[in-house]
Amino acid sequence: MSKVSILIPTYNRADLLPATLDSALSQTYRDIEVIVSDNASTDNTPELMQAYVERDHRVKYIRRSLNEGPIVNYSTAWNAAVGDYVAFLDSDDLFHPTKIERQLQAFGARPSDTGFVHTGFCYIDRHGKPLSRTVMLPEGDLFEPLLRYQAPIWFGAVLFTRKCIERTGWLDASVAQAADVDYLLRATRLGYRAGCVQEALYSHRHHGNNQSNNITGLAKSLFTIYERIYAEPDVAAKYKPWRNYTFANLHLDCVGRFLASGQYESAGWHIAQALTLQPEWKQTLQPWVQSLLYEYALGPTCDDLVAFVGGLFDSLPQDVPYLLQHRGLVFALAHVGTGLRAFYSGNTQEGRDHIVCALKHYPELPNRPAEFIELVCHFSSKLPVDDPGHFASSIFDQLPDSAKQLRGVRSRVLSKINLARAFYAWAARDLPRVRRQVIAAIRHRPSAALNRGVMSIFTRSIAIPAFNSSLQPSG
């Protein structure tokens, strides 16, 4: 069997570290070593780790005498690793039990130039409660998507081959806040392909002390990385036309992060930079709704969607009349999103109140429900539940009377959710679920049968006898 090294750097996380360690040691794949590198913690981490070392021979503990930052701490763990594969696990996050097993299976089913396999991931709160999950992640040759800043990969959800790490080199401490982005760019630039297990097998714990909460430092690191790679002669020669779009995406990412944290002045500066690079964004809602509202305002780091949207419009320059005239619609969507959160939490009256507020901001919403449909589908699909369609259906039963016209789009919403889950099941190689979801989608909206892509995966799911059983999702 191949040995897998799980590297866990830590500093003063004795309260959360046991759950992290237990998740690593509970892997269904047993041939592992768990290496904890302690960056000179001042809490009771040494005593805690001594108990784990005595209890399980697979645990190694290294205590550093000096805190020299997370990259050096990771390097300490790497230097002690002997595994054929290497995984990274932050000391406040969790592996799901089958993570390593499923990733090794994926390696066996993919080309020899696959350097790493990542998985889906979910966000959890400090107490471990699931908040949201990712869907439909990329795989294959990902250098170009990463170069466009359009390939969401969580570094902790990645399993690398030792060869990939040895050839790529180590994490760059000069861009520590985004060293994972830099590393994946370097690995894929060398030709390493990515595999993906389309299941949420990694949990990222969101709390106030996350390193990624240093948005200014993260932004500085990201721009340093992309300035550097676009300055490379071969990249500049081939991909120069992409540069403005990539940097606009980086600025938009910073806008979302700064708005979610209430730092509106910084958000405004990045908005101006994004619009300078992509002036056509002044004439479309797509990046401002699809990217900012759906991915950041509705994400786990934003507590107040309405304040987020208020900060966005207060930060917009005055030469964007198209965007400003849609202020009512976007505020309405913010209230819808807040209402969906309330419904999911069981606060029915609060949810209804926000739907009423949405209609006050934009009374025309029932007459142009496309944005409402998209928002409900997006929110529902990312919930950490087995049947997002059931949640979405329950929303329509709870809508206030003033929004009764919106109840007419229930079938469209349910069909769209089932279609999305059919494609997700296809990516996860779960053929029986492909068939179930497509049939459900057509039942809710017969016109779905006219979609060529839908019928293609449906007929292929019937024609293909079965995938190798080792590739079937575990649940």
3-state secondary structure the chain: CCCEEEEEEECCCCCCHHHHHHHHHCCCCCCEEEEEEECCCCCCHHHHHHHHHHHCCCEEEEECCCCCCHHHHHHHHHHCCCCCEEEECCCCCEECCCHHHHHHHHHHCCCCCEEEEEEEEEEECCCCCEEEECCCCCCECCHHHHHCCCCCCCHHHEEEEHHHHHHHCCCCHHHHHHHHHHHHHHHHHCCCEEEEEEEEEEEEECCCCCHHHCHHHHHHHHHHHHHHHHCCHHHHHHHHHHHHHHHHHHHHHHHHHHHHCCCHHHHHHHHHHHHHHCHHHHHCCHHHHHHHHHHHHCCCCCCCHHHHHHHHHHHCCCCCHHHHCCHHHHHHHHHHHHHHHHHHHCCHHHHHHHHHHHHHHCCCHHHCCHHHHHHHHHHHHCCCCCCHHHHHHHHHHHCCHHHHHHHHHHHHHHHHHHHHHHHHHHHCCCHHHHHHHHHHHHHHCHHHHHCHHHHHHHHHHHHCCCCCHHHCCCC
For residue 475, what pLDDT is reported?
A: 35
pLDDT digits (tens, 9 = 90+) for 385-422: 989 999 999 999 999 999 999 999 999 999 999 999 99
Asked if residue 163 is part of any domain, the answer here is: yes
Residue 17: per-residue pLDDT: 97
Q: What b/e string do you get for 14-29 counting C-beta neighbours within 10 Å, with b at 16 or more? A: bebbeebbebbbebeb
Say if 268 falls within a structural domain.
no
- Tally of domains within the chain: 1
Structure confidence at residue 474 (pLDDT): 39
From residue 325, how far is each of 272, 331, 365 by CA, in Å? 18, 11, 15
pLDDT value of residue 208: 60
Which pLDDT band holds residue 154 (cuts at 50, 70, 90)?
A: very high
Residue-wise pLDDT tens digits, 183-201:
999 999 999 999 999 999 9
Structure confidence by residue, pLDDT tens digits, 267-300: 999 999 999 999 999 999 999 998 899 999 999 8
Instruction: Specify whether the CB–CB gap between 134 and 152 falls below 8 A.
Output: yes
On average, the pLDDT of the chain sits at 94
**pLDDT at position 248:** 98
Domain containing residue 125: 4-213
pLDDT for 471 equals 45
Residue 314 placed within a domain: no
Q: What was the pLDDT predicted at 465?
A: 62
Q: What is the pLDDT of residues 71-113, one digit of tens each?
A: 999 999 999 999 999 999 999 999 999 999 999 999 999 999 9
The answer to whether residue 181 scores a pLDDT higher than 70 is yes
In a domain, 56, yes or no: yes
Check residue 213 and give its pLDDT. Answer: 62
Residue 187 covered by a domain? yes
The CA distances from residue 143 to 138, 172, 179, 253, in Å, are: 11, 18, 16, 19
CB of 423 closer than 8 Å to CB of 461 = no
Confidence of residue 469 (pLDDT cuts 50, 70, 90): very low
pLDDT higher than 50, residue 467: no
Q: What is the pTM of this model?
A: 0.92
Domain of 201, CATH number, reads 3.90.550.10
- Residue 368: pLDDT band with limits 50, 70, 90: confident
Stretch 228-253: mean pLDDT, rounded? Answer: 97
The 10 Å CB-count burial string (b at 16+, else e) for 258-287 is bbbbeebebbbebbebbbebbeebeeebeb
Q: What is the pLDDT of residues 426-465, one digit of tens each?
A: 988 899 999 999 999 999 999 999 999 999 999 999 987 6
Asked if residue 440 belongs to a domain, the reply is: no
Residue 446 lies in a domain: no
In a domain, 97, yes or no: yes
pLDDT for residue 209: 57
